[in-house]
Structure 1
Amino acid sequence: MENTIKPVHQKYNVRAVFGLLEAPESAEIPGLAPGLNGVPPVDPMYVFDTERTRQLTMFWVGGFKALKIEGSPAAGKTSIIEQWHARLNVPLYKVPCSPTTESFRLIGQLLPTEDGKLVWKDGPVLKACREGTSVLLDEYNTLDAGEATGLNMLLEGYSITIPETGETITPAKTTRFFATQNPEDSRAAVAGRNVQDVANDDRWSHMEVEYLKPELEEALVLRHLLAGKVDRTVAESIAKVVVQVANNVRQAFLNDAPGIDKPLSTRVLLRWAKYTVMYQGVMRKQNQSGLHYAVRQAVRMSAAMATAVNEQITLIAGYDENMQS
């Protein structure tokens, strides 16, 4: 939905909005007043990582135009951009990229009306340029490299002319472009990634995102469980185990350990923790472990990986699938 309300600029306290305690108490960051369409909803359970927040703050206040965020699957690349805009009340146009995404669909195209006429319709990139808001190109390196170069002028803030209408568009000063992608050289089996053109890649600032620090990931899992009215002691125990198992599996994956063919992501942990709570009572009656049972429903694993993960759960939880120490 397009914005018909003129954006009103508003400043926000960095400490209060993002919890960045290293920032001066009086430090403010520019955003927009509430009430615009396209602002992502606030996730009250989201945890802002200090390093990520620091880098985004520098990018934002420095007046830079384009930021590419690269990291492992489900490491939080998209969510930090969404929650950043949610807190600052800035509309964010999100585009899921694919090998068939063409640059003209991002910028705009002529579309037929009911009476047979052709009218120009802005794409998400051009909407953001007119409004001075933001656009997120998710899974950016699935784009064909040639199509990505069609954005080069806009990424640097230069004007472009729409051939179909003759209109010249200059991006508003507050227009920002974000891209997220998994590394094409990652060991994680992520298919369909392309190496982008050097000239296009040169126009982006770069930010690397890895999984949350253990204490932050535990806090995130705990928040989700407590929101479901889970007893705090039980929730803390589950959060501790699933995060420790995940970090051991991630390290084993990086070390080419046999049987471990992918890491466990944060989104998998959230599912695993919730399934554990749901299955604990039922499985306990059968002298079975809810933790061990639930992980197989939370994520698809090869037989070899399932065995390796089971062993890690037993090691950290202190009991096996049959509740034996």
Structure 2
Amino acid sequence: MTTQATQAAAAPTKSRKKASQEPATAAAAAAPVEQQASPQWVHFDGFACFGIERMRGAKILGLSEPSVFTPAKDPTYKWPIDNLRDLLHFYMAGGNAFCAMGHPGTGKTMGVQQFHASLNLPLLSMSANPRTQAYHLIGRLVPNKDGGVSWVDGPVLMAARLGMSVLIDEYNVIDPGEMTGLNLLLEGRPYLVPETGELVVPRHGFRVYATCNPKDDKGLVQGRHTQDNANDERFEFSWFGYLPQEIEVQLITEMIAPYQPSLPANVLAEKFVAVANQVRKLYAGVTDDSGALDKTISTRVLRRWVSKAMSASTQGSLVESPMHYGLERAWSLSCSDEVRVAVHELVTQTFGGGDYKSSKDNLHTMQPAGA
């Protein structure tokens, strides 16, 4: 049986019952925020924004106040200078589409978010999956309360309408045929909505950001596509690698310091980072070892490992080997047994202490808490 909404969708546009061309709910909600906050365009000092000495005195245009769409600022974030340079050049040149590429956990998404947070810029974000289609990004007709259908913007068209940035995370898991539907918007050109006949002219400030893990022949990252050449040509690209060792050591030192460990915080931090970098080299296949690991320790995983290990070190006899305990909970229990054992042997060599004893080797549960 054909429903009234289906009949309305199948009918010519002029006979549809109240086929609305109004922006989506989030877009409508933006108007009061904009009126209330009334942010102004102002020039920020580059050092004040990004904490990089060589940028002191540089004037960068941003908004005086954040909005509900502005990502939260992470005061611990460390800027990879090459990626910040690329983001700045893209932004200041008025680019339309920017793709951050790199291995998992290299800070692609965080980099885009923190760039917007530093300048109080609004950013819509969505995470793609293999079932994402063009209409999820651009918009579609949905049933309304009056029995007809209304147009609802997807995040890309919404951002174009409002003049803000949009981030599509995991962009290259989407089928390439679907992404060709974005080509006009990726160039910042007007987009004609076929379903309503509305012409949406992107406002100043509209930009599309995408993050991609590289597609490789080792299959370490699954389900990635090579996008259509015409789609790729719309983007500028930046390669995001892991943080330089000295910066990552500084980041981890700051995490360790409040725990007041027996060893100096920077010495422990160097050991954590040394293990992570060795695993990364094995993962990327850049060492002389015969086989690359199938998982890596990203900065995200490293921070989780440090947090778990240092917290466990304050629990006395409750945790026998905090470094091993922390790594298991942060990462290694998800690895194959071969990888897990090999990496924990590296941890033992780096930090010293007893042999690794995995909780996974226990067939039964541990002793009851009261034992």
TM-score normalised by length of structure 2: 0.80
**Shift in CA distance, 137/217, structure 1 to aligned 2, threshold 3 Å:** same
Matched, 1:100 2:134: no
1:247 and 2:277 are equivalent in the alignment: yes
Q: Deviations over 1:145-199 (max 9, x none)?
A: 0111100001111111111221111212321110001001164621111110000
Return the offset for 1:86.
0.8
Q: Contact (CA 8 Å) 1:20, 1:53: kept in 2 or not? A: no
Q: Which amino acid aligns with 1:319?
A: G
Identify which of 57, 82, 88 aligns with 2:113. Answer: 82
Equivalent position of 1:315 in the other structure: 349
* Match in the other structure for 2:23: none
Instruction: Say which one has the larger Rg.
Output: 2
- Alignment match, 2:102: 71
Gaps of 5+ in 2: 1-25, 358-371
Mark the CA change 1:116 to 1:220 in structure 2 (over 3 Å): closer, same or farther.
farther
Q: Structure 2 CA distance, aligned partners of 1:142 and 1:72?
A: 14
The offset of 1:292, in angstroms, is 2.1
Residue range with higher mean Cα deviation, 7-16 or 82-91: 7-16
The letter of the residue matching 1:266 is T
Tell me the distance in 1 between the aligned counterparts of 2:122 and 2:150.
Answer: 25
Question: Bigger CA drift: 173-182 or 110-119?
Answer: 110-119
Is the Cα–Cα contact under 8 Å of residues 190 and 202 in structure 2 kept in the other structure? Answer: yes
Q: Give the whole-Å Cα distance in 2 for the aligned partners of 1:120 and 1:225.
A: 51
After superposition, the C-alpha distances for 1:263-293 in whole angstroms (9 at most, x for unaligned) are 21111111111111122244x6389421123
Please point out which of 159, 177, 180 is paired with 2:208: 177
Is 1:259–1:304's contact at 8 Å kept on the other side of the alignment? no
Question: Whole-Å Cα distance in 1 between the matches of residues 107 and 78 of structure 2?
Answer: 10
Q: Which residue of 2 aligns with 1:206?
A: 237
1:259/1:305 contact within 8 Å kept = no
Matches within 5 A, 1:31-70: 31-70=62-101
Matches of 1:186 and 1:34, distance apart in 2 = 45
Structure 1 residue matching 2:53: 3-state secondary structure = coil
What is the aligned partner in structure 1 of residue 43 from structure 2? 11
1:180 aligned partner, one-letter code: T
Q: Does 1:295 pair with 2:324?
A: no
Residue identity opposite 1:214 in structure 2: Q
Q: Distance in 1 between matches of 2:355 and 2:264?
A: 18
2:54 is paired with a residue whose SS is: coil
Q: Give the C-alpha shift of residue 321 in structure 1.
A: 3.3
Q: How is 1:117-132 mapped onto 2 (pairs within 5 angstroms)?
A: 117-132=148-163
Q: CA deviation at 1:258?
A: 4.2
Equivalence for 1:230: 259
The letter of the residue matching 1:13 is D
One of 129, 137, 143 as aligned partner of 1:112: 143
Q: Secondary structure at the match of 2:62?
A: strand
Letter in 1 for 2:271: V
**Cα distance 1:279–1:234, how it changes in 2: closer, same or farther (>3 A)?**
farther
Structure 1 residue 235, shift from structure 2 partner = 4.2
Please report how far the alpha carbon of residue 315 of structure 1 lies from its aligned counterpart in structure 2 after TM superposition.
2.3
User: RMSD of the alignment, in Å?
Assistant: 2.2
Is the CA contact 1:287–1:322 (under 8 Å) kept in the aligned structure 2? no
Q: Structure 2 CA distance, aligned partners of 1:122 and 1:168?
A: 13
Q: 1:301 and 1:99 mapped to 2: Cα distance?
A: 24
In the alignment, is the contact (CA less than 8 A) between 2:102 and 2:241 conserved in 1? yes
- Kindly provide the amino acid, as one letter, of the partner of residue 231 in structure 1: Q
Tell me, in whole angstroms, the C-alpha distance in 2 between the residues paired with 1:250 and 1:175.
Answer: 36
User: Quick one: which amino acid aligns to residue 297 of structure 2?
Assistant: L
State the identity %. 37
Cα pair 1:288 1:321 within 8 Å, conserved: no
> Partners in 2 of 1:185 and 1:298 — Cα distance?
26
Equivalenced residues, count: 319
User: Cα gap change, 1:270/1:119 in structure 2, threshold over 3 Å: closer, same or farther?
Assistant: same
Residue number among 156, 168, 184 corresponding to 1:153 in the alignment: 184
Q: 1:286 to 1:173 in 2, by over 3 A?
A: closer
Gapped regions of structure 1 (runs ≥ 5): none
Cα deviation for residue 120 of structure 1 reads: 1.6
